[in-house]
Chains A and B, each alone.
Chain A
Amino acid sequence: MGNPLLRVRSLSKSFGGVKAVNDVSFDLHEGEILGVIGPNGSGKTTLLNLITGFVRKDSGTVEFRGKDITKWSAHKISNLGLVRTFQIVRPYATLPAFKNLIPPLFSPRIKQSTRGKLGDRDAVAIDVLEEVGFERDAYVPYKLAGSLPLGYLKRLEFARCLCMKPETICCDEVFSGLSMAEIASMLPLVERLQADRITLIMVEHRLRELFRVADRVLVMNFGQKIAEGSPREVMKDPQVRRAYLGEEVKL
C-alpha cells in the first residue's frame, strides 16, 4: 500500500465554544477519491479549511508526502500541490473566464516547473479551460465570468486547480447548486482527473453522485469522524443512519 499521501492526525478546531472539528484522523492514499459526507454543520468544510491551511488549527497534525504542513500558510500548501476549490465561487466577474486563471499561472509552483518558459499565459489558460469542458469553438472561455452559469463556474474552479498542476484537489461541494444533468456531466471530469493520477478529497452533500466515483468515504457528524470505509459499508453503519435520519430506521 505504501505511505499515505496525506496523513491527518487528531485535527481539532473550536469556534467560540463550538467544536467544529473534534479529533479527526484519517489517511489519504495516492490516486484514490475520498468522499467526506455528513449532515449540515458536521464540520466538513472546516476540515477542508484546516487541511489546506485556510484556518488555523487548534491541535493536530497534517503531513503531506511526509512533510509536516501543520503550520503552513494556505499559499504555501497550494504551492505544494495540495489545492482546493471553493464552495461559493467568486470569480472576477468583469474579466473573461480565462483571465481568471492568470493568478495560478503566476504561482511559484508553475514558475518552477516550467522554468519561466510558460509562454503565453492566455493560451495556456484557454487550453486548460477546454480540458474542463469550456467549448473553445463557442468562445466560451472568452465570456465574462460574471455571465457564466453555475455549472461552468464550478468547472472554472477545477480549471483553476488544474492550472496549479496539482497532486491533490480538495473539492468543496462541487456538486452543490447544480442540476442532475449538470452533475452527470461533471462526473466524467472527475473520473478523468482520477485517471490523470490526481488524488481527490470530495466534500459532498449529494450522496448518490458521490458514491458513483468515490473509492472510500469518511462520515462526519458534529465534528467527529463516525465512520470510514467503502460507500456500501458506510451506508450500512447504524451510526451513520442515525446521523442522517435521526433514528434507527428499520428497512
Chain B
Amino acid sequence: MEILIYGLINSMLLVLMAVGFALAYSVSRVPNFMHGSLYVLAGYLTWVFLNRLGLGYLLSILLSVGTATLIGWVVYKVAVIRVRGMPVSEIIVTFAISLTILEFLRWLGLRGATYVLPPFYSKTVTLLGVPVDSQRIAAVLIAAAIVLVLWIFTHYTKVGLGLRGIAQNERAALMLGIDSDRAATLALALGSALAALAGITIIPMGNINVATGYDVLVFAIAVCICGGLGSWTGTILAAFVIGFAQMIVVYLVAPHLAMVVALAAIILILIFKPSGLFGRQKELEERV
C-alpha cells in the first residue's frame, strides 16, 4: 500500500520535473540541458532571498521563478539563437551554460543541512493508512494543476496553439505565420519557469544541493525519452511507469538506485521502442 501511495507521489514529482523539459524540447528541438541547473538555482535564490534579504516566502518564490524565466529567455536570445541548426553546437552551448550555473553554485558552497527551504505547510496527513507530509501533497496538487493549465494553454489560447503547432509540424506552422524563433524563446522561457517551479516545490522536501541538479536533468530526460519526445500523454504515462518502478526498486532493493532505474529505462526504451511509449515515429525516421 505504501508503494502505491509513494509511487503515485513520486510519479507526480517526475511529471513536475519533466514538463519543463518536454515543453522546451518539443517546441524548439533544443534539449535544455540547463533544466537541472535552473531547478537548483531557483531553490538557492529562494533561500538567499528568504534568509539573506529577509523577503517573504511567496515573494522569494516569485522572484526566483522570475529570474529563472529571465535566464532561460536571455540564454535563448543571446546564445542558442546563434547556433540554431547546428546540433553539435546547440548541445554544447546549453550544456556549458548549465555547467556554469551548477558549478558556480557548487563553488559557493551549497552543502549541508542548513541549506533548506521551509515547506509550504507543515503537517502530516494519513492517506489510506500511509503517512504523507503535506509538502508532498502540495507538490502533487501543483503538478496536476500545472499539467491542467498547460493543457488548457496549448489547446485553447492563441499563443499556446501556436506553440503546439510548431511542436507538431514546424514547416506548416511557419507557413501559417507563426514565428518559430519567438515560439522557441517562449517555450524555453516557460520551460525554465517550470523547472524553477519544480525546484521550489520539491526542494523543501530535502535540501539544496548541486548533485540534485544533475539528477533532475537525468530524470526529466528519462521521462521525456520514455514517453516520446513530443507527446504529452506519453510523458505523463512514462513518468508513472518510471515513478513506480523507482519506488519499487528503492523500497525493495536499495535507496540509491533511483538514478539506475532512470538510466535503465532510457536504455531499454532506446533498444525496444526508440520513439518512446507514445512517440510519433516520424521523429526518428522520415528525413528523406
Contact = CB atoms under 8 A, between A and B. Distances in A.
Direct contact of A and B (CB under 8 A): yes
A56 B280 CA distance: 12
**Main SS of the interface on chain A?**
loop
Interface string A40-72: 000001000100001110000000000000000
Contacts of A54: 285-286, 288
Interface in A55-105: 55-56, 86
Contact of B282 (A15, A45, A49, A86): A15
Interface residues of A, number: 8
B288 A49 contact: yes
Nearest to B282: A15
Contacts of B288: 45, 49, 54-55, 86
Interface residues of B, number: 6
A45 B281 CA distance: 18
B228 to A, nearest CB: 15
**Main SS of the interface on chain B?**
loop
A55 B281 CA distance: 10
Contacts of B280: 16
Nearest to A45: B288
Interface string B267-288: 0000000000000111001101
B169 to A, nearest CB: 9
B285 A56 contact: yes
B204 to A, nearest CB: 43
Contacts of A56: 281, 285
Contacts of A86: 288
A56 B288 CA distance: 13
A49 B288 CA distance: 9
A54 B281 CA distance: 13
A12 B23 CA distance: 32
A249 B286 CA distance: 38
Contacts of A15: 282, 286
Interface string A174-195: 0000000000000000000000
Nearest to B281: A56
Interface string A1-40: 0000000000000011000000000000000000000000
B274 to A, nearest CB: 12
15 contacts: A15-B282, A15-B286, A16-B280, A45-B288, A49-B286, A49-B288, A54-B285, A54-B286, A54-B288, A55-B285, A55-B286, A55-B288, A56-B281, A56-B285, A86-B288
Interface of A: 15-16, 45, 49, 54-56, 86
